Amino acid sequence: MHIADIMREDSPTFSFEFFPPKTPAAAETLYQTIRDLESYMPHFVSVTYGAGGSTRDLTHHLVERIQHTTKLDPIPHVTCVCHNEKEIEDILVRYAKSAIGNVLALGGDRPHGIPYDKSRDSFQHAIDLVKFIRRFNESGAHPDPRGFGVGVAGFPEGHPATPNRLIEMDHFKAKVDAGADYIVTQLFFDNRDFFDFRERCALADIHVPIIAGIMPVTSMSGFRRIAELAGGARFPAKLLRALRRCENDPESVRRVGVHFALEQCHDLLDNNVAGIHFYTLNRSDATRVIFDSLGIPRRRNAQAPTV
């Protein structure tokens, strides 16, 4: 389904993110997660893309498997890093043939451990990728006459590559105006950052839906990893204090992280968020606890898992 239809039909939306498994054991963990979460019937699930195309085929296979063997609606990431126009066109053709309705157009992370020259990429910034996808849509190659719905990333705490926040918003507006239908934000832990970002978007005459990205802290190792993502994340002192009190008790750490994320979600819903996107790290337990605690009714078209 096209993202415009999803947002029009049912708001707020709830969605999950998965990443492609790299080992058979990881694959089993992921497919169990999909079984666990399918009955919640999220409005869509996104599938990440490895830096430098390291998980290209894994991403494509996972997207197609979700599309053809589950009731879930997958939205694959498409990134600028290490790609030329022919490669992106081939990916879009493949997804169009599988009737994938939407994509998320991202700059992508720099690959680690391999030589990388950004100047060789056909798409220097996400705006270039958005424009290319729009041109593809106009070609009529997609079964939906509108082509793909196109999403872009938003950064409530600010884009790490653009410290000047005025210039950052100019760039962001240009990216949205190039053809974005919706925005999914990077993870954040202080809702004030999200509300301020949403207001600045309105002031910049950006009016597409803004979906909030939430990642529950479920372990101290995960907490430290989050701090490295997307150039860092701001952790409120309230969360740091709570985690410090129980850092040697893994179960207490998980409860603290889930409770904090749950409070974030309640506040977002009370303030008319367009949607909440859960970064699951391919595990379902924290997300299920949050979903159940929010009292979100299962969508009426939910069916038994089919994976």
Q: Which residues are catalytic?
A: 17
Q: How far apart are CA 103 and CA 179, in angstroms?
A: 12
Q: How far apart are CA 33 and CA 264, in angstroms?
A: 23
